[in-house]
């Protein structure tokens, strides 16, 4: 036992001596290298190094900036395809800078169901619905902000033939055979009562706001309006209505987009007739049910879209002032008693030829009708994105 103890003592002493020697050697080597390093630094030409070595830039964390909603929003629509084409896009942007227009409505998701730019979010990427139409979307929005242009992103919600066809579990179906339902144009709708569809829409809105869109505009927030409506499987519980389902969707949108994490301005496109009727038009849209949930309500009061002899006008399209004034006057009569002023409205008006050839005078007549009602905000629709600039020039009004 004593022998083993002495052996252990000798071994321990050897280890201690070895460690001490190692520390001395390491310290000496470090000091030598340190001196050598300092001398090398003194002789390096930093500028030469910069020229010869390509240093990868450090990617900065992107933080979107936003423009506050103008007191009076005056905007025109720009399709994703035009936004993606600089020569076409720049014509509209230049017009905006020359006129009283201060906002652009750009497609985030159009009625094809495709998203206009890549979005890295699992709720979205699982459906492969994004395209790269509008390249450098962040830079485009930043450039528009530099010009003080308010950027509204348009989302076609329930009309979505891409998702409906490729993911039929999300779609409105036929009662007769369970197939995906189609309207008379062959287009399909998502089910407004499907929570996955709601979450998909919310994710698109949140991600789009995070890259710089100042406001999200929701379109096609309704059930289908044409085709074989009688064969639609609405999937509505007993005691509920289509209007109840759409209102639930509105409530969910607001809860997800205006909360502790987000405060996203929201607007809703509604059929123009919602200002005039007392039912849901068969599509679930009721003006009074939409008002509490959005910062702006945008009835699509295109004169050409009103039926023949509406309010006594044999051709409503030929009477733009009268139709717009009547339609929005009726809207104010419904919303004023509920505590909503004219400021809540931002109607879509017409700048395209349908039912009549639309001149600058006819476009401006619609604006004057709104102004006479105290409605200062409006949006102008032309699917071809060719706008009548003379109608938007305050300094040279065609009606004066």
* pLDDT for the residue numbered 39: 31
∠ CA 199-205-206, nearest 5°, is 90
The percent of residues above 70 in pLDDT, for the chain, comes to 83
Mean per-residue pLDDT, 222-234: 95
* Residue-wise DSSP of 189-232: BB-TT-HHHHHHHHHHHHHHHHTT-SEEEEE--S---SS-GGGE
Does the pLDDT at position 366 exceed 90?
A: yes
100 domain residue, yes or no = yes
Which pairs from 336-343 meet CB under 8 Å and 24+ separation?
Answer: 338/288, 338/291, 340/291, 341/374, 342/373, 342/374, 342/375, 342/376, 343/376, 343/377
Our count of domains for the chain comes to 2
338, 297 in Cβ contact below 8 A?
A: no
Q: Please tell me the distance from the alpha carbon of residue 360 to that of residue 347, in angstroms, as a whole number.
A: 18
Domain match, 179 and 261 both: yes
Q: Say whether both 153 and 203 belong to one domain.
A: yes
Task: Please tell me the distance from the alpha carbon of residue 219 to that of residue 266, in angstroms, as a whole number.
Answer: 11
Q: Which region among 33-42, 55-64, 372-381 has the lowest average model confidence (pLDDT)? A: 33-42
66 is a domain residue: no
CB atoms within 10 A of CB 60: 6
Say yes or no: 154 and 198 in one domain: yes
Strand 232-233 versus strand 173-174 pairing type? antiparallel
Q: What is the pLDDT of residues 97-153, one digit of tens each?
A: 999 999 999 999 999 999 999 999 999 999 999 999 999 999 999 999 999 999 999
Neighbours of 142 (CB within 10 A): 16
Query: Do both 176 and 318 map to the same domain?
Result: yes
**In this structure, what DSSP letter does residue 362 have?**
H
Structure token pair of residue 164:
């409906």
Mark whether 268 and 133 lie in a shared domain. yes
The string of pLDDT tens digits covering residues 77-96 is: 999 999 999 999 999 999 99
19 with 93, same domain?
no
Name the residue with higher pLDDT: 278 or 53. Answer: 278
Q: Based on the fold, state whether residues 199 and 234 are members of the same structural domain.
A: yes
How far does CA 157 lie from the centroid of its chain?
11
DSSP secondary structure of 43-65: H--HHHHHHHS-PPPPPPPP---
CA gap 234, 246 in Å, rounded: 12
Q: DSSP character for 177?
A: T
Is residue 64 assigned to a domain? no
Supply the pLDDT for residue 397.
Answer: 55
Same domain flag for 189 and 304? yes
In-domain check, residue 136: yes
Q: Is residue 84 part of a domain?
A: yes
Structure token pair of residue 394: 């305050």
Domain CATH code at residue 381: 3.20.20.80
**Quick check: is 160 in a domain?**
yes
Same domain, 230 and 309: yes
Question: 103: which strand partners?
Answer: 75, 150
In angstroms, the CA 100 to CA 73 distance is: 10
pTM of the complete model: 0.84
> Based on the domain organization, do 33 and 129 belong to the same domain?
no
In a shared domain, residues 19 and 90: no
The whole-angstrom separation of Cα 392 and Cα 106 is 19
Q: Give the whole-angstrom CA distance, residue 317 versus residue 353.
A: 9
Best CA proximity match to 344, nearest among 375, 367, 379, 300? 375
Containing structural domain, residue 182: 74-396
């Amino acid at each position: 036992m004593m022998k083993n103890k002495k052996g252990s003592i000798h071994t321990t002493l050897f280890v201690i001596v070895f460690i001490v020697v190692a520390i001395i050697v390491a310290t000496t080597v470090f000091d030598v290298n340190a001196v050598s390093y300092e001398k090398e630094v003194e002789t390096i030409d930093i500028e030469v190094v910069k020229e010869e070595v390509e240093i990868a830039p450090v990617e900065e964390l992107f933080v979107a900036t936003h423009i506050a909603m103008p007191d009076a929003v005056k905007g025109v629509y720009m399709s994703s395809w035009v936004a993606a084409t600089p020569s076409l896009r720049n014509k509209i942007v230049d017009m905006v800078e020359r006129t009283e227009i201060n906002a652009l409505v750009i497609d985030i998701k159009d009625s094809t169901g495709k998203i206009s730019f890549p979005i890295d979010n699992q709720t979205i990427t699982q459906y492969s619905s994004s395209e790269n139409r509008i390249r450098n979307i962040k830079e485009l929005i930043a450039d528009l902000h530099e010009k003080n242009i308010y950027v509204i992103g348009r989302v076609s919600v329930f009309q979505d033939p891409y998702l409906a066809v490729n993911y039929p579990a999300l779609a409105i179906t036929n009662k007769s055979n369970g197939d995906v339902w189609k309207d008379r144009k062959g287009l399909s709708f998502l089910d407004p009562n499907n929570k996955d569809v709601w979450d998909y829409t919310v994710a698109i809105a949140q991600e789009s706001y995070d890259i710089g869109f100042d406001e999200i505009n929701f379109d096609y927030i309704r059930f289908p309006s044409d085709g074989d409506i009688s064969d639609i499987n609405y999937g509505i519980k007993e005691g509920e209505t289509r209007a109840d389902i759409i209102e639930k969707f509105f409530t969910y949108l607001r809860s997800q987009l205006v909360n502790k994490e987000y405060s996203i301005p929201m607007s809703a496109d509604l059929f123009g007739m919602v200002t005039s009727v007392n039912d849901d038009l068969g599509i679930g849209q009721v003006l009074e049910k939409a008002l509490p949930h959005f910062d702006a309500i945008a009835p699509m009061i295109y004169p050409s879209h009103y039926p023949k002899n509406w309010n006594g006008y044999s051709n409503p399209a030929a009477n733009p002032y009268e139709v717009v004034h009547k339609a929005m006057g009726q809207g104010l009569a419904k919303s004023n008693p509920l505590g909503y002023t004219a400021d809540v409205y931002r109607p879509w008006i017409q700048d395209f030829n349908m039912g009549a050839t639309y001149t600058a005078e006819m476009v401006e007549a619609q604006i004057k009708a709104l102004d006479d009602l105290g409605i200062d905000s409006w949006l102008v629709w032309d699917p071809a994105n060719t706008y009548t600039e003379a109608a938007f020039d305050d300094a040279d009004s065609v009606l004066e």
